[in-house]
Chain A
Amino acid sequence: MTRRSILVWLLGAGLLVACTFALNDYTGDIFRKLLLTATLALSFNFLFGITGQLAFSHVAFYGIGAYAIVIFAYQIGWPLPIAFLAALAIGLVLAFVVAIPSLRLEGFFLGLASLAFAQIFTVVLVQGGEITGASDGLSGYVAPVILGIRFSGQNYLYAIIGLFLATLAVLLAIDQTYFGRACRAIRDNPEPAASMGINITKTKILVFVLSSTLAVIAGMFYAYADRYVSPFVFDLDYMFLLFFMVVIGGCGRYAGAIIGATVLFLLPEILGGIIGKRHLFFYGLFVVLAILFWPDGLAGLFDRIMRSVMPRRPPATRGQTGAAVLPLLPDSAKREALAPQAAPLLRVRGLSKRFGWLVAVEQLDFDLYPGEILGIIGPNGAGKTTTFNLLAGVIAPTAGSARLVEREMLGLPPHRVARWGIMRTYQHNRPFIGLSVVENVLVGAHTRFEGRLFEVRLRRIEAETRAEARRILELVGLGELADADVRRLSFGQGRLLEVARALIGRPRAIMFDEPAAGLTPPELERLGAIIRWIGGQGIAVLLIEHDMNFLLPLADRAIVLNFGRKIADGTPDAICADPQVIEAYLGMVERQRVTTA
């Protein structure tokens, strides 16, 4: 932590504490509940705004925390620390029970399961008889004394301020690591996130459990706000309010969650006379309008105002980017030594995929050597991209094997394939639009960080990797754009970003899916040089390409597919002379002529 950030935190804490002295009974009550709501909005923002998971159970977990501590500490009479741990344990177990079934699947199943969960939670409270106090709730318990300090009045306010700041600090600490990047990558574009080595299911489950646990803890604090818990505090109206706070404030932003919580919490207090009790109608309307016209929310509006008050020179994003700074090509001798004599890196045998009656890939055999650039060519529908998807674990093969240095990799999920050192780029650029250019590249280094969240070295590895990401961006010619918004890249720059993202993973092989498509001649030239350089580093390159002028001078070897079968395998010259290849391509030409005539 730098000296400056310590100062900022102290300033924030001091400001909040200073506020408490200006409060009377009524405003003090509002202040406490506002802080609790903002705390809840912060943890919900991590789940919904940052990771993109739609869940309706956050307020229920808040209620679980509140009810659990009251039941354990007062109904049953356990000592407070044990009651605290028991409440935490219950929250954790329930979070896993909701998350594991619903997050293994894609889509909105978490939304459905968590909505049903929230509903049943209310039912349990109302039906809970004496244990939960039914619809009357529980009240009349006393504020606890911890270390001689009574947990009420001004002390309670300090505790809540502590809770708010601690929640913010925990979330920021996690978010500023690879984990936060992975969450945003999952939100923005799950498929490439998986192909960068991110275990999507595991990450989502962890985020859900983390944010729900933070809600449980906040709930335990809430239990002492009025020393009264009731089923109607934790109903779905509050849940929707939380949604609206995050969306209107600015999805995925900490400031957004806090601003949204403050504005929506205070509006009914201030405008109570005008809009009455049914303020949720207007909030629903605000949300629809915000999504349609104002997706950045109030935080985004604040940014825009600040920018017009204090205009900053935008980072240089226009014009030509710098030339690629490629280190000198390694001498050809090194490369020769790498290729044919070495054992193959990847040995594919009998790879087949059928979709129903349609044969996409049939009995495909090929070897890929370290440092080799192997082209895969063939007419449309020949099975090239299917082959990539099979190797990358995106689709399951019908039969066959693919051994990566003697270990079978076929059938591994995409994130495991990435961990084994196989990276890919996509035919259509697939950036993570919520991240800057350099952070996009860093997602590609995910496997380096995985599982090191609590290691002391993490900070150092992060700094080193960040420097490396910048070097790689220099190398592909995007150095000046490192901190730019990824949405401002041109198509060709986006393609280079995909290459950088694959490179930083220190792969053993990279699969390029039609990298030349849509590039201008100078961009093509640069891309060719980069791919040649990659091969020179001993990284194997698998290259699908339609542009023969691009592929033929580049490839060491090429295989030709037609209707899912390999019809030729050899050097580019040999391929061009192969009668079967000529027929496959000319055959296409003739058929096209017939259909157009």
Chain B
Amino acid sequence: MSDFLELMVSVGETGGIYALVALAFLVTLRPTGVFNFALGEWAGFGAFIGVVAVVDFGLPYIIALPFVIGAAALLGWVAERLTVRPLVERDAPILSPILALLGVMVMTHEGIVFFFGTSNQFAPSPLGGGRVVLGPFIGSSQGFLIIAVTAIVFLAAWYFFERTIWGRAFEAVAIDRFAAGLVGVNLRLTSALAFAAGGAVAGLAGLLQSPLTSASYLMGLPLAIKGFSALVIGGMGRIEGALLGGLLLALLERLVLRYAPIPSGFALGVPLLLLILFLLVRPSGLLPSPSGR
């Protein structure tokens, strides 16, 4: 039983990261229709900014956190302003902004290599590295932190999209961009905010991930693949889909690692198999968007 509960904590830990990356994709994708492949690398960017702030500058974590989120949001904002917006405004084919962001993705990746090198960099956990017993649950302190932060972020995202006028505006743009523009939604600002928010959430995910595996220039792509696998599994219509997909993906990965007699490297294949399975059987994901949309 305690074994099972420990498994649950570790699923919450990795699943929370996946869910956050999925959320980053989702908040960008819904109002803009642009799939931002660069988000994985932006998570890596967040991790390294965290290392710089905490290790190099010795800032307390509570100050480093908004710093990282702000830097990643700024990156998103700037990328939208410089690459996506000009293309959207001149009615370029839908593939153009996606390609431009691929360019941005490679630039981010190479930038990380240039500034931080190709060796892994230790990233401390704000709660120290120890193991924690929380009632019946046992896990790493960072794991509990990730679960808590994921819960807070998703609650905030849910509140934003369901309860605030700005969130409704995002939804309206997602449903019908033209009509939303007609009724006074500021499309430019929505698009910029969507990219900034996506960047912020991805940067946060990278920051949370880094104490587990160190900050590495290679961390971006696997995070991106897991994030969008989670998104396809959970469904792209709703915020909850990202959370469910992330947790489910992490659970299956853990189960395969524990019970299937394959090398651990092949666990990377799990998201791909799930992705293809879901595209075949249930392309709308487990939680499809509410009807009529």
Contact = CB atoms under 8 A, between A and B. Distances in A.
A127 B265 contact: yes
A291 B105 contact: no
A285 B276 contact: no
A56 B32 CA distance: 22
Contacts of B92: 291, 295
A101 B276 contact: yes
A188 B93 CA distance: 8
A455 to B, nearest CB: 33
B35 A240 contact: no
B100 A240 contact: no
Contacts of B265: 123, 126-127
Interface string A280-303: 110111111001100100000000
Contacts of B153: none
B57 interface: no
B106 A281 contact: yes
A355 B292 CA distance: 7
Contact of A119 (B104, B221, B279): B221
B87, B103, B222, B291: most-surrounded residue (chain A CB, <10 A): B103
Interface stretch (B3-11, B108-116, B167-175, B183-191): B108-116
Interface string A97-128: 11011101101110111011101100110110
B214 interface: no
Interface of A is mostly: helix
Nearest to B281: A101
Given A105-B279, A284-B110, A243 B225 contact: no
Interface in A305-356: 355-356
A287 B275 contact: no
B121 interface: no
A4 interface: no
A185 to B, nearest CB: 13
A287 to B, nearest CB: 4
B106 A280 contact: yes
Interface in B225-265: 225, 228-229, 232, 263, 265
B110 A280 contact: yes
A278 interface: yes
A268 interface: no
B70 interface: no
Contacts of B266: 123-124, 127
Contacts of B222: 119
Contact of B275 (A113, A240, A247): A113
Given A111-B37, A126-B265, A127-B265, A117 B272 contact: yes
Interface of B is mostly: helix
Contacts of A111: 35, 37, 98
A52 interface: yes
Interface string B256-293: 00000001011011011001100110010000000110
Contact of A287 (B99, B224, B232, B283): B99
B105 A356 contact: no
B221, B279, B280: most-surrounded residue (chain A CB, <10 A): B279
B83 A288 contact: yes
A108 B98 contact: yes
Contacts of A117: 272
B292 A116 contact: no
Given A123-B268, A127-B266, A116 B229 contact: yes
A278 B114 contact: yes
Contact of A240 (B95, B96, B98, B102): B102
Contacts of A236: 221
A288 B275 contact: no
Contact of A97 (B83, B224, B276): B276
Given A126-B265, A281-B111, A291 B103 contact: yes
Interface in B108-157: 109-111, 113-114
A386 to B, nearest CB: 15
A54 interface: yes
A247 B106 contact: no
B87 A278 contact: no
A292 B110 contact: no
Nearest to B228: A112
B60 interface: no
B272 to A, nearest CB: 4
A117 B1 CA distance: 36
A284 B103 contact: yes
A124 B265 CA distance: 8
A116 B272 CA distance: 6
Contact of B232 (A54, A112, A284, A288): A112
Contacts of A188: 93
Nearest to B99: A291
A116 B86 contact: no
Contacts of A243: 99, 102
B272 A119 contact: yes
Contacts of A124: 266, 269
Interface in A181-197: 188
B107 A285 contact: yes
Contacts of A108: 35, 98
A101 B280 contact: yes
A104 B276 CA distance: 12
A277 to B, nearest CB: 9
Contacts of B105: 284
Contacts of A127: 263, 265-266
B107 A288 contact: yes
B41 to A, nearest CB: 11
Contact of B272 (A104, A109, A120, A126): A120
A124 B269 CA distance: 9
A116 B35 contact: no
Contacts of B107: 281, 284-285, 288
A136 B100 CA distance: 34
A123 B268 CA distance: 8
Given A127-B266, A240-B102, A115 B225 contact: yes
B93, B102, B106, B275: most-surrounded residue (chain A CB, <10 A): B106
A105, A108, A287, A291: most-surrounded residue (chain B CB, <10 A): A291
Given A240-B106, A281-B110, 4 more contacts: A52-B93, A115-B37, A240-B102, A280-B110
Interface of A: 52, 54, 97-98, 100-102, 104-105, 107-109, 111-113, 115-117, 119-120, 123-124, 126-127, 188, 236, 240, 243-244, 247, 278, 280-281, 283-288, 291-292, 295, 355-356
16 contacts: A54-B98, A105-B283, A109-B279, A116-B225, A116-B229, A119-B222, A120-B268, A120-B272, A123-B268, A126-B265, A281-B106, A286-B103, A288-B83, A291-B96, A292-B86, A295-B96
Shortest 10 CB-CB distances between A and B: which pairs?
A281-B110, A284-B106, A287-B103, A101-B279, A284-B107, A116-B272, A288-B103, A127-B265, A101-B280, A284-B103
